[in-house]
Structure 1
Amino acid sequence: MPFPSRRRGDIHPLTRAIRGCLGLTAAGSLLLSPVALAQQGTTAPEAATDLETLTVEAQALSVITEGTARYRVPLTSTATRLDLTPRETPQSVSTVTRAQIDDFSLDTTNDVLESTPGVTVERLETDRTYYTARGFEISNFQVDGVRVPMPYNNVHGDMDTAIYDRVEVVRGATGLMSGSGNPAATVNFVRKRPTYEPQAAVSASVGSWDQRRLEADVAGPLDEAGRVRGRLVAAGMESDSYLDRLSRERGLLYGVLEADVTDSTLVTLGHTWQQNDTDGNMWGSLPLYDSAGNPTDYDVATSSAPDWSYWDVETQRSFLEVQQALGDRWSLKGTLTHLDMRSDTQLFYIYKTPDAATGRISDDQLTLSRYDRHLEQWVADLHAKGDVDAFGRSHQLVLGTDWSQSRNQQLSRYPTASFDAGGQGLPPLDDWNGRYPEPDAWVAFPGTDGDATVKERSLYGAAKLDLAERWTAVAGARLSWADTTGEQYGVSQASDHDRVLTPYAGLIYDVTDRASLYASHTEIFDPQTEIDRNGDYLDPVDGVSQEVGFKAELFDGGADASLALFRTEQDNVAQPAGTRPDGTAFFTGGDGITSEGVEVTLAGELAPGWQASVGYTYLEVEDADGEATNTYIPRHLVRATTSYRPAALDALKLGARLRWQDDIERDRDFAEGKTREEAYALVDLMASYDFSDSLTGSLNLNNVTDEAYLTSLKWDQAFHGAPRHVMANLTWRY
């Protein structure tokens, strides 16, 4: 179907992105100037060369994966901010690199996390997503290693991946860097940075459901000496959908500058703008059964959205970094980030179930709402990192402090008392064309707004201690203060937590030069944003998380393998308990929740030209009575991506991606019994061919078996995932 015209006279997000791409032409003429071209194939000038070691050391997160075919990284700092190899990190770590993102057209963070071992992506609605690992919701997120508070633990819209070099995921509790001991995982989005040598790329894609995408990326030095460098990235996408009435438009602009202010000081300034506009979006989704408890079995394309619904999100994120070398062995880094996110939505929610005899849904089962949200966030971090010699050995130490303030403003408005839907209700959703009267006016009632502010501050420290031959310890602690003020929907959010200590300890024993045993322990204290039936926040989660495992470097050091056994004991964990009439999910606190299981991963080059990332997770989650809980999360999970470039035809690359999970289920809210989703596997195939050193074409065929599946059972509603679809891409690189 044709794309609907934009409302409110907005500039089309794709138009903005295309203008950004055109703007890159001017920037590219500077970045690819004769001065810059003259530097190609040579080392950076002396001043930049002197700083190159500083940049890599102080930017421990910047083990660059773009421009390589690697499915692994040699270092990670997500868990502790220490520079550790995967084998030195006493937790399970997985990375989705730029090569994987490009090979399988993982254009959104949802796509990336669906490829990450041990992670499930709960697409509850078309424009709101949650993530889980090890049986619990992921609430810890970082950008370039700096924590990003996430109210409600969910993402609105699709975050584009054009600006990221890679995404690192550390499973298990990482309260040392994230401010809480959530035992699920920490997800760290690592941005692309300017380059010392000029480079440029333009990519165009077309695919199923009239999807069209354009992306441009230019980077390089901006002065003759190479002391000032820049990067500009622009991307735009628009698409219809396999779901009735759903269409999307997305625009992205990212600019970053870095300058060697002195021979020991690096300053970086960057800004990202992204606009997500969705028409025909679902709030909630489809009832899974009727009033008699019979499965509804809707068609894959069925939607619960009227033709006037929309969800628009604008996100702007700015950051400033200053890195200062302190002698040869220490560095100091300060970061300040600002986030401004605004949502404008018009929503339509179906409450309870359709009539078993007719399939119809009455007007009193429908909630219509106009919802606006403004999230403003400031985050500051300052830390020093370096080496210390003691007891005849060298150790690594990091000491830091951070501070954040997040203000979340919300307003829900509803149709005026004069609104008359005519008593028509809805026919069976399979037969519905999306037509339903659109209110001409909306009004806010007492208690339908919110304005709450969360302030957090902390001190943290960590150390990698070389204890003895083959013995290493990783230890640290975080001391946190957090307080919340304000109200949300008529309910006070006031809370205050002082001097909360989150310890972290790990021990590694090198069995050989390439194999290690490890154990780690941390306590859990995790303030929650889930609400109970009355709209009050649940009390914080507390407990203990432990992990033991084996790690090895295989295939001549080209790949990392790990085996982990984990166990977590928690109290007051949020458990889904139903949905309020306004469409808001509510929860209860479950005591004695235990999660334990096994994870096996392998990532890297298994043979010349053969890259792979594979993960298997076995999970058990039980309550205090030994009964299974959180059963909407798979107990067995496989994530695998692989690609191969044959030596006899090295212009060709072939690959496959597998996502498999076993049966899941949930108790029904409005009828006896359970809703079940059978085990399923999604298989994606890719092929690319280098027509020249600069031009590459690729083809991605996703869900090749046309598997029918639901995107989540976290709520009592769900919708079908995408059927078989295709994407073709042509990329030019300089």
Structure 2
Amino acid sequence: MHRPHHRAPAPLRFRPPVAAALLACALSGTAWHAGARAAEALSLSDAAPRQYDIPAGPLGRSLSAFALASGIALSFEPSLTDGKTGPALNGRMGAREAASRLLAGSGLEVIGREDGSFTLRRAAAGAEALQALPAVTVSAAAERSTVTEGSGSYTTRATGAATRMALSLRETPQSVSVIGRQQIEEQNLLTLNDVLRQTPGIVADRLDERVSFSSRGFALNTMIDGVPTLSFSSAAGEASMVSMQVYDRIEVVRGAAGLLNGSGSPGGSINLVRKRPTTEFSGHVGAGVGSWNRYSAEVDLSGKLNETGTLRGRVVASHADGNSFTDSKKQSEDVFYGIVEADLTRDTLLTAGVEYQRTAIKGANFGQSPLFYGNGAPTSLPRSLSSSAPWSTWNMETQRYFVNLEHHFDNDWRVKVDAALITNDRERYSADIWLYPGNINPVTNMGTVQVSNNPATSVTRALDVYATGPFSLFGRTHSAVLGANFNRYAYDYGNYSRLLNTVDRQAANILNLGAVAQPDFRYPVNQFSGVTEEKALYGALRFKPTDALSLIVGSRFSWYDNDLVSRTWQGGANGRAVASSAGHERAVFTPYGGLVYDLDEAWSAYASYTNIFQPNTVRDASNQVIAPRRGTNAEFGVKGEHMGGKLNSSFAVFEVNEDNATELDPGAALLPDGSAAYRAVSGAKTRGFETTLSGELARGWQLMAGYTYSAKFSNKNALMNTNYPQRMLRLATSYRLPGALSKLTVGGNLSYQSGTSYLETYSNKTAYQGGLTLIGLMARYDVSSQLSLSLNVENLTDKYYYTGFGGYNGYTYGNPRNAWFKANYKF
């Protein structure tokens, strides 16, 4: 029976140390005032000792980490630290001693300013150097640090994921979560699927090797470095397999993201932000072993490529391999990432790079295991059962080439051009349990398998151009962004069989799929080729009529074209091609509005509104693509910024109204391509609320947590999306022990979701999964400032649960209890 019941980096002048130090200015609530000591060397002997754990590395980065840990406001010119390296700093000490150790032999010293902040100067220059030192100020939102690597935090100071303008979470009038490098490494988040399973408000529903991501009951759009991409839109590009080795952070906007995405899903967007090069040499090597004979190895190196540091590069490479808890399944992964930055001038930066990832799966799954036997009785199948034959293969290869050019003007405006070419290839052939209709014999376990070869390819071209910066009006400074983007996505996939002009379906014992022979797939059955193009113009203005009030107004005009050619050989030796269109839309207007009001130093209230335009891709019972979804999205809430920005909180209520929502049509036959038919629902309404908390609760204690309630009802008040949980809790935390135990960090993660159900298409039976709680643990021991050892345990209580439910009329089990042990050495 079923166990579950049914400028950062500032692109033109590389200065992440300054950006991070400026971030520390915002955290200076506990800074000590220098007063009259402005011309003296640092005098913090009266400050209470604090715990420091700063690895050896570039001096600028070390000083930024020192400022963050000590709570002082420290700013400096990057040229002072270029080419210099700071020693490792570990232990409990006063700020004066910590600064002295970091600066030993550097020829630099920290001195106080009259405003209570601190800066750097050359020790030999004397006190007069302070007056000659150029002031470092934040003149535009783009100067804020968005890089999470090395921050030691589970939160961020700024993100442009929702508006293209670098705003703090508190200033952004939408629900945003950022999963940064610290959380990715500590919680051992290897893929995008792992990340989103820890992200507040996100449902990750596994079909087979594919996973669908949704928020508030809607699919999420995807961006890379802020540029919308259609490269994950087909079987050739699977988002869930994307390795996290390449990325600094994942930014998730919940709620309609139509300002930056042409097909603005009501669910929001995922933005994958790449790692960038550093000025000084830095990096790490790592290796790990895990349950089911898994192992991994990685290297990440970064630094300047010429003496002056105007040319910088970074390279990342990794390999992973091993088995699975699923019978006969093995998976390997190879990743390579290279990026080069070149300062063409003092204000112009050229960046180019390439990503490569190959994921090869033997014993791969397509489809799911059956929920019910042919007589309607619930199945009782082993947890490790594979729904596909051992020889089934699913190999994915992705290559992403990108180049961007960015220029900063003296008036603090900047213009950026991003271009990308992405190719995806999928090799897939298999014998899979066929669940339409459910006809498995409960005594003999005889059923049907479909045997096919199903290759897929796609090519995506993307271009994005935008300008952003400040402007003055009525004596106050405001911000603006104006841009345009283009996406062209061409894809091709088909099916091949051992039989002429027909799909190969065979009788088989589902408990012995190894007995199904791998055939020669010599005959084409069908082929589908298509081109999707999206073009858009977008813009937004952020007005600041008062210090406490900001108003964001924006809009997007979108053009959408989707053409398809399908060819079928069933019933004819030469094949028959049919051209069709999945939609053409012209100048669709999507307005966006947001209001943020600062209630006091810590709290703000906000509201946002946007229209919904999202083309559907599913078809109705007459094999016609359902018209695009249209509707509205409104959100209201409060946000908090605490402890000088080290901790962020939010609470939001939301409502989505939509026409042409889609749901399975239970009475319809399968479509000619074998997929299920859907029907449109008008007047659907989604309502809910969520609350989040991210950042440092206390010294050494990091937290990312969120609770979400969301429910979608039809115009007849019937609950829709019953296989999605209505309530979810996501929590991840780590704590560095104090004092003599400070080399040890412990933590873990917890995921709760309420019960779900699925009405099986053919048996008319309903399967249920009750409320589910999963627990993971982590521990890391710092052997030295460079070497660390870590242990991560997933599903501590070894729960049986569905990680996929109903997507292919069946279920997919989630991972049993398993562990990873890793060693990491930092340069």
If the length of structure 2 is used for normalisation, what is the TM-score?
Answer: 0.80
**Contact 2:744 / 2:779 at 8 angstroms: preserved in 1?**
yes
Match 1:531 to one of 615, 619, 622:
619
Is 1:660–1:679's contact at 8 Å kept on the other side of the alignment? yes
Q: Find the counterpart in structure 1 of residue 735 from structure 2.
A: 644
Matched with 1:10 is none
Q: Distance in 1 between matches of 2:444 and 2:756?
A: 26
Quick check: 594-603 or 365-374, which moved more?
Answer: 365-374
Q: What is the correspondence of 1:291-306 to structure 2 with a 5 Å cutoff? A: 291-306=374-389
Alpha carbon RMSD of aligned pairs, Å? 2.6
Work out which of the residue numbers 78, 81, 85 in structure 2 matches 1:40.
Answer: 85
**Partners of 1:727 and 1:581 in 2: how far apart?**
45
Distance 1:128-1:580 versus aligned 2 partners, 3 A rule: farther
1:635 maps to 726
1:564 counterpart residue number: 652
Q: Determine if the alignment matches structure 1 residue 122 to structure 2 residue 208.
A: no
Aligned to 1:617: 708
> Offset of 1:348 from its aligned partner?
2.5
Q: Residues 51 and 416 of structure 1: is their aligned pair in 2 closer, same or farther, counting only changes over 3 Å? A: farther
Q: Deviations over 1:689-711 (max 9, x none)?
A: 00001100000111010000011
Contact 1:701 1:726 in 2 (8 A): yes
Aligned partners of 2:199, 2:676: CA distance in 1, in Å?
27
Match of 2:328 in 1: 245
Q: Give the CA deviation at 1:469.
A: 4.0
Q: Is the 8 A contact 1:290 1:359 kept in 2?
A: no
- 2:799 aligned counterpart, secondary structure: coil
Residues in 2 aligned to 1:166 and 1:158: alpha-carbon distance in whole angstroms: 16
2: CA distance, partners of 1:697 / 1:117: 28
Spell out, residue by residue over 1:623-675, the C-alpha distance to the aligned partner (whole angstroms, 9 max, x if none): 01001001111011010000000121211100110111010011110112311
Specify which of 686, 693, 696 is matched with residue 785 of structure 2.
Answer: 693
- Letter paired with 2:473: A
Q: Residue in 2 aligned with 1:135?
A: 217
> Equivalents in 1 of 2:620, 2:506: separation in Å?
33
Shift of 1:468: 2.3
Checking the alignment, whether the CA contact within 8 Å between 2:304 and 2:312 is kept in structure 1 is yes
The match for 1:97 is: 180
Cα deviation, residue 358, structure 1: 1.9
Contact 2:500 2:523 in 1 (8 A): no
Distance in 2 of aligned mates of 1:566 and 1:488: 40
Q: Among 647, 661, 664, which residue is 2:756 paired with?
A: 664
The answer to whether the aligner puts 1:496 opposite 2:584 as a matched pair is yes
Identity of aligned residues (%): 33
User: 1:123 is matched by which residue type in structure 2?
Assistant: R
Look up the equivalent residue of 1:717 and give its one-letter code.
Answer: G
Cα deviation digits, residues 141-164 of structure 1 (max 9, x gap): 111111112425982661110010
Residue 151 of structure 1 pairs with residue 233 of structure 2: yes
CA contact (8 A) 1:54 1:325 kept: no
1:182 counterpart letter in structure 2: S
Deviation at 1:392, TM superposition (A): 1.5
The answer to whether the Cα contact below 8 Å between 1:528 and 1:537 also exists between their aligned partners in 2 is yes
Q: What does residue 358 of structure 1 align with?
A: 443
Pair 1:506–1:424, CA change in 2 (3 A): closer
Tell me the residue number matched to 1:223: 306
C-alpha distance in 1 between matches for 2:196 and 2:335: 20
Q: Are the counterparts in 2 of residues 354 and 360 from structure 1 also a CA contact under 8 Å? A: no
Q: 2:689 matched to which residue of 1?
A: 598
Report deviation, 1:374: 1.1
- Supply the distance in 1 between the matched residues of 2:749 and 2:266 (Cα, whole angstroms): 27
Q: Deviations over 1:457-496 (max 9, x none)?
A: 1111011110224211111000111112232454513521
Match of 1:399 among 477, 482, 506: 482
* TM superposition shift of 1:553: 1.3
The answer to whether the aligner puts 1:173 opposite 2:253 as a matched pair is no
Deviations 1:113-159 (A, max 9, x none): 0000000111110x211111101222x11111111124259826611
Taking the aligned partners of 2:372 and 2:384, their CA distance within structure 1 comes to 17
Equivalent-residue separation in structure 1 for 2:450 and 2:349 (angstroms): 53
Shift of 1:512: 0.4
Aligned pairs for 1:263-412 (under 5 A) are: 263-349=346-432, 350-351=434-435, 352-362=437-447, 365-412=448-495
Secondary structure of the equivalent of 1:174? coil
Distance verdict in 2 for CA 1:61–1:342, change over 3 Å: farther
Q: Aligned to 2:545, what secondary structure does the other structure show?
A: strand
Structure 2 equivalent of residue 210 of structure 1: 293
Change in Cα spacing, 1:464 to 1:418, as seen in structure 2 (3 Å) is: closer
Report the 3-state secondary structure (helix = DSSP H, G, I; strand = E; otherwise coil) of the residue aligned with 2:170: helix
Kept in 1: contact 2:421–2:460 (CA 8 A): yes
Helix, strand or coil at the partner of 1:100: helix
C-alpha separation in 1, matches of 2:726 and 2:564: 39
Contact 2:144/2:157 (8 A) holds in 1: no
Say whether the 8 Å CA contact 2:331–2:359 is kept in structure 1: yes
Q: Please give the secondary structure, in 2, of the residue aligned with 1:711.
A: strand
Contact 1:164–1:192 (8 Å) recurs in 2: yes
Contact 1:182 1:524 survives alignment (8 Å): yes
Secondary structure at the aligned position of 2:778 is classed as strand
- Distance change (3 Å), C-alpha of 1:464 and 1:111: same
Match of 1:456 in 2: 534
For the 8 Å contact 2:532–2:560, the answer to whether it is kept is yes
Distance 1:576 1:69, change over 3 A: farther
Deviation, structure 1 residue 357: 3.9
Kept in 2, the 8 Å contact 1:289–1:295? The answer is: yes
Counterpart of 1:733? 826
Number of the residue aligned with 2:40: none
Q: Alignment partner of 2:785: what SS?
A: coil
Q: Cα gap change, 1:491/1:102 in structure 2, threshold over 3 Å: closer, same or farther?
A: same
Tell me, in whole angstroms, the C-alpha distance in 2 between the residues paired with 1:545 and 1:311.
38
Aligned partners of 1:245 and 1:434 also within 8 Å: no
Q: For 1:418 and 1:77, how far apart are their aligned partners in 2?
A: 51
Contact preservation (8 Å) 1:287, 1:354: no
Return the offset for 1:622.
0.3
List per-residue Cα deviations over 1:595-648 (Å, max 9, x = no partner): 110100000000000000000001111001001001111011010000000121
Which of 596, 607, 629 is the equivalent residue of 1:541?
629
The answer as to whether partners of 2:300 and 2:317 remain within 8 angstroms in 1 is yes
Q: Could you tell me whether the CA contact under 8 Å between 2:327 and 2:385 is conserved in 1?
A: yes
Q: Which amino acid in structure 2 is aligned with residue 438 of structure 1?
A: Q
1:718 to 795, 803, 811: 811
Q: Give the Cα–Cα distance (whole angstroms) in 2 for the partners of residues 561 and 157 of structure 1.
A: 28
Correspondent of 2:548 among 470, 477, 495: 470
* CA distance in 2 between partners of 1:689 and 1:70 (Å): 18
Q: Match of 1:509?
A: 597
Q: Does the 8 Å CA contact 2:192/2:240 hold for their aligned counterparts?
A: no
Q: How many equivalent pairs are there?
A: 687
CA contact (8 A) 2:431 2:516 kept: no
SS at match of 2:608: strand
Distance 1:240 1:517 in 2: 49
Decide whether aligned partners of structure 1 residues 128 and 55 sit closer, same or farther in structure 2, where only a CA change above 3 A counts.
farther
Distance 1:326 1:210 in 2: 54
Tell me the TM-score normalised to structure 1 length: 0.89
Asked whether the equivalents of residues 291 and 355 of structure 1 are also in contact (C-alpha less than 8 Å), the reply is: yes
Q: Secondary structure at the match of 1:166?
A: strand
Deviation per residue, 1:420-442 (Å, 9 max, x gap): 99x97222x3x325220221233
Structure 2: how far apart are the matches of 1:475 and 1:123? 37
Match of 1:14 in 2: none
Q: 1:57 to 1:111 in 2, by over 3 A?
A: farther
How much does 1:40 deviate?
2.8
Structure 2 unaligned segments of length 5 or more: list them. 1-80, 87-105, 109-119, 123-132, 568-577
Mapped contact 1:367–1:581 kept (Cα < 8 A): no
Q: Residue 520 of structure 2 aligns with which residue?
A: 440
Deviates more, 1:391-400 or 1:491-500: 491-500
The aligned amino acid for 1:672 is N
